[in-house]
């Protein structure tokens, strides 16, 4: 059966109380590498952003270290998020129930789950964070390469316009604006993870309670239950 709302590795565990596997170990590791990279980039980037914040460079060993470390971590972030993107993009595509979820955003804030539609693995808010991160990381890596001096020979060969002073000034402005935006999206993501009780557990232990899955992502849970039943029915009885 095709997985419409679930990812490989998602399954209902045979435990009491019922728990549901939500993220594989490789996905959780990938997520935390991305999160750590983003935090380090935010701190080192702020140190380079304004003289009043330059003291933050002391956390990395000084300005000279930050100068090469910041773009290097940027590459790590891009690769790590790209791997995460490959695992999650299909389940983050917009669906009809997302429109209803957004229309009832007040009920989301008030915790009136009974007024919300049944959802797959991710709700519209989570999908917004995912696609916002995707777009902003692309903007950051492209603008970052334009202002990274070590890459100038490459840009002169394949994109001469990107190595000009005016182009680099525009890239700096775009990079700074995208950085502020992604920090705000990251804060929103962290707040939502703590605000919705039981969510953080998914990215630490890899599983959630059956009650949490039924309350927040019922379509996802129903699909897992259906897949499990089909799997059990397909097994040949022991003789």
Q: Is 3 part of any domain?
A: no
Tell me which of 168 and 151 has the higher pLDDT.
168
Q: Is 230 part of any domain?
A: no
DSSP 60: T
State which H helix or E strand residue 74 sits in: helix 63-88
Question: At 68, which CATH number?
Answer: 1.20.950.20
- Is the per-residue pLDDT at 211 higher than 70? yes
- pLDDT grade for 122, boundaries at 50, 70 and 90: very high
pLDDT at residue 168, as a whole number: 85
Q: Is 215 part of any domain?
A: yes
- State the SS3 of 151-206: HHHHHHHHCHHHHCHHHHHHHHHHHHHHHHHHHHHHHHHHHHHHHCCCHHHHHHCC
Q: Could you report how far apart the first and last alpha carbons of the chain are, in Å?
A: 27
Domain interval for residue 58: 14-222
pLDDT at residue 197, as a whole number: 85
Q: Is 229 exposed, middle or buried (0-12, 13-18, 19+ CB in 10 A)?
A: exposed
45: tokens are 């980037």
Predicted TM-score (pTM) of this structure: 0.88
Task: Count the domains in the chain.
Answer: 1
Q: Is 189 part of any domain?
A: yes
Place of tokens 């001096």: 149
Q: Is 2 part of any domain?
A: no
pLDDT at residue 84, as a whole number: 96
- pLDDT grade for 239, boundaries at 50, 70 and 90: very low
pLDDT single digits (tens) 10-64: 888 877 788 999 999 999 999 999 999 999 999 999 999 999 999 999 999 999 9
Q: Is 232 part of any domain?
A: no
Among 112-116, 162-166, 187-191, top mean pLDDT goes to 187-191
Give me the chain's average pLDDT, please. 88
- Determine the Cα–Cα distance for residues 82 and 164; give it in Å rounded to an integer: 29
- Is the per-residue pLDDT at 70 higher than 90? yes
Is there a contact between 146 and 168 (Cβ–Cβ < 8 Å)?
yes
State which H helix or E strand residue 81 sits in: helix 63-88
Q: Is 4 part of any domain?
A: no
Q: What is the mean pLDDT of residues 185-200?
A: 91
Q: Is 207 part of any domain?
A: yes
């Amino acid at each position: 059966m095709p997985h419409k709302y679930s990812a490989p590795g998602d399954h209902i565990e045979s435990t009491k109380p019922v728990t549901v596997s939500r993220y594989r170990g490789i996905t959780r590791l990938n997520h935390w590498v991305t999160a750590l990279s983003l935090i380090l980039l935010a701190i080192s980037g702020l140190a380079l952003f304004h003289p009043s914040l330059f003291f933050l460079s002391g956390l990395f060993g000084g300005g000279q270290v930050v100068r090469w470390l910041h773009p290097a971590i940027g590459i790590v972030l891009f690769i790590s998020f790209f791997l995460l993107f490959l695992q999650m993009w299909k389940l983050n595509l917009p669906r009809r129930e997302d429109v209803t979820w957004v229309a009832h955003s007040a009920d989301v804030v008030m915790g009136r789950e009974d007024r919300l539609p049944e959802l797959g693995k991710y709700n519209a808010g989570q999908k917004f964070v995912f696609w916002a991160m995707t777009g902003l990381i692309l903007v950051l890596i492209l603008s970052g390469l334009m202002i990274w001096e070590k890459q100038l020979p490459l840009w002169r060969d394949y994109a001469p316009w990107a190595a000009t002073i005016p182009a680099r000034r525009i890239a700096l402005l775009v990079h700074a604006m995208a950085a502020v935006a992604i920090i705000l999206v990251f804060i929103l993501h962290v707040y939502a993870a703590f605000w919705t009780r039981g969510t953080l557990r998914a990215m630490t232990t890899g599983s959630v309670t059956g009650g949490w899955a039924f309350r927040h992502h019922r379509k996802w849970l129903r699909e897992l239950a259906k897949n499990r039943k089909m799997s059990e029915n397909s097994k040949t009885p022991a003789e």
